[in-house]
Amino acid sequence: MSHFIMIRIIPRFIEPFLLKSLKNVPVVTLLGPRQAGKTALAQNLVQKIGNWKPFEYLDLENKIDLA
């Protein structure tokens, strides 16, 4: 018997606005409470923009990125 986990990304109403912003400005900041899905949203955006814009993803809970 095999077990698997299906992960579904919940569509975020802000995603189209972030994509539009990323086309017009060099930096976009994603802020919100813990466990709100910021990292999942950012990683999903990275997959979408990776072909048309260079990017750098920083996690300010990571000590190296924060420095």
pLDDT beyond 80 at 7: no
What mean pLDDT do residues 35-56 have?
79
What mean pLDDT do residues 32-52 have?
80
Categorize the per-residue pLDDT at 64 as very low, low, confident or very high, splitting at 50, 70 and 90. very high
pLDDT beyond 60 at 1: no
pLDDT beyond 90 at 3: no
In this prediction the pTM is: 0.64
pLDDT number for residue 5: 65
Distance CA 1, CA 18 (A): 42
